Amino acid sequence: MKFSTQNGCLIPEKLLPPGQEYSSDPLPISRIEHLPEAPSINPNYPYNKDLQKLLSGKQLLLDDVPYSLQDIQAHYENGYLIYRKSIELEKNVPTCVRCGNQKKHLFASFHCARCQETCVYCRKCIMMGRTSSCSPLISWTGPSIPIEINKEPLDWKGTLSVGQGVASEAVVDAVHQTDSLLVWAVCGAGKTEVLFKGINAALLEGKRVCLATPRTDVVLELSPRLKKVFPTIPVATLHGGSEDRHLFAPLTIATTHQLLRFYQAFDVVFLDEVDAFPYSVEETLQYCVEKARKPLSSIIYLTATPNEKWRKECKSGKRRFITIPARFHRHSLTVPRFVWCGNWQKRLKKGKLPPNVERWIKERIEAEQRALLFFPRIELMDQVLPILKKINPKIEAVHAEDPKRKEKVQAMRDKEVPMLLTTTILERGVTFPKLDVAVIGSEDRIFTESALVQIAGRVGRSSDFPSGTITFFHYGKTDAMVKARRQILAMNKEARVRKLIDD
């Protein structure tokens, strides 16, 4: 699409009356060096409230807005929405405004049927619709939609542990003070419950809230829980293909990818699993989380395994944080055992397992003790599976691309599978009561300190079965292994000092 300017307004080329002269020739929006200021709001204009709900706190492409160009332009000219560039061109170097991409190899060009010129588009965020040099982003500038909560929205009869309670009050304070906070909570500490009062406080203050997480399965797990404890308010659940895509709600639960569509929308953002892939390595996702926040807003990060930089900032006082070093059931975290198993890959090529690994497996099968066995790579896991099926044919393996992944995990929950072989896909987000865990090849670089702490966190999560074993089988200790064990010991020490555990 091309735009011309007339009397300080952008006008789409399609809406220009024929035969008239204009102050500028029509150009793709990215090639207009200085966009006119947004027109002033006309308070007498009867704006479309459905369009207001669609665009409030969003930045959408024209294709995502199911209204005529004439309607959109009328709202623009009366000050209720703006056109923004989706691709910024600085000395012909593109930047994607929506996702922040500046990497040259992630842009491409094509002959555009809309503007009849060569357009640059961003490949990085194309799954959310194509941003190109002639495509505007549309955002609402009219009256905001008030968050009106007429009665206490939180309906939860549960109780918090002492550690949870302290963290919960810190979260509420961060919401009241429009501050940032890191909640550093051990695996199984009950982070979600810690958020309830903070979300409640924000809603009562008329603030719009988002709970974001990198993974779809976490969104699907959290959505029914939050809808249950906040039964009187609309809750939008956003992930790839979700039906709530255009729902305006006081509380939004979303994958971080979905925040690409938001712009200065939220007064409070809770970012769960801040250390998890892909958020931890994707600058685009970090950019879009910041962009989805209002300029004056709170952000509360949640993780069991903050990276080393954040830990240093916590210790030096540069980052505000609160720890929950103990689980709600008041039992200490299980400390990993390091067990040398020799050159296990060499033995595997001969169709054999190290004797101590095989003994560990057989002991659990004979005792009917369920177990998870982690591997660094799929192909290694696939070599081991036939060996283990000779011991017990019900043993299964699972990985991210497994089409039966959900069924196998559920079978493990239903106690139909005695032992599940897995990659790091199950390092977080799953709970199986009464479980032992082992890592084969824990020296592999894929097993970072964070991954090993999370894997260890699968053990002892249930109050009925708060113990279990976690074994790191290795062909040489690594810094990651040592640091993971040290972190777990430090949390147990802090929990004892604060009298949050009984053992």
Q: How does pLDDT run across 279-313, given as a tens digit for each residue?
A: 777 888 899 999 999 999 999 999 999 988 999 99
* C-alpha to C-alpha distance for 97 and 59, rounded to whole angstroms: 10
Q: Does the structure show a pLDDT above 90 at 487?
A: yes
* C-alpha to C-alpha distance for 150 and 112, rounded to whole angstroms: 50
The predicted structure's pLDDT at residue 280: 73
Q: What digits encode the pLDDT tens for the residues 339-391?
A: 999 999 999 999 999 999 999 999 999 999 999 999 999 999 999 999 999 99
Q: Does the structure show a pLDDT above 80 at 158?
A: yes
* Percent of the chain whose predicted confidence (pLDDT) is above 90: 80
| Top-confidence residue, 25 or 439 | 439
Query: Can the peptide bond before residue 36 be classed as cis, meaning omega within 30 degrees of 0?
Result: no
Q: What digits encode the pLDDT tens for the residues 235-285?
A: 999 998 888 988 899 999 999 999 999 999 999 999 998 887 767 778 888
Mean residue pLDDT of the chain comes to: 93
Six token digits for residue 480: 């990651």
* C-alpha to C-alpha distance for 194 and 213, rounded to whole angstroms: 16
The predicted structure's pLDDT at residue 22: 66
The predicted structure's pLDDT at residue 463: 84
Query: Which of 98, 128, 77, 80 is CA-nearest to residue 30?
Result: 98
* C-alpha to C-alpha distance for 320 and 184, rounded to whole angstroms: 11
Query: Which of 337, 296, 297 is CA-nearest to residue 481?
Result: 337
AA letter at 426: L
Contacts of 198 (CB under 8 A, 6+ apart): 168, 171, 172, 174, 175, 268, 270, 300
* C-alpha to C-alpha distance for 21 and 260, rounded to whole angstroms: 38
Q: Which residues pair with 210 in a beta bridge?
A: 252, 269
| Eight-state DSSP code of residue 407 | H
* C-alpha to C-alpha distance for 123 and 103, rounded to whole angstroms: 10
Cβ(329)–Cβ(463) below 8 Å = yes
Q: Which residues pair with 339 in a beta bridge?
A: 473
| Eight-state DSSP code of residue 58 | B
Taking every pair of Cα atoms in the chain, the longest distance, rounded to a whole number of angstroms, is: 88
Q: What digits encode the pLDDT tens for the residues 190-221?
A: 999 999 999 999 999 999 999 999 888 889 88
Six token digits for residue 164: 């949870």
pTM of the model: 0.89
How far, CA to CA in Å, does 293 sit from each of 81, 128, 297, 299, 411? 19, 19, 6, 8, 40
Q: What digits encode the pLDDT tens for the residues 432-441?
A: 889 999 999 9
Radius of gyration of the chain (CA): 27
Cβ(216)–Cβ(200) below 8 Å = no
Query: Which of 458, 195, 455, 191 is CA-nearest to residue 323?
Result: 191
End-to-end CA distance of the chain: 68
Q: Does the structure show a pLDDT above 70 at 23?
A: no
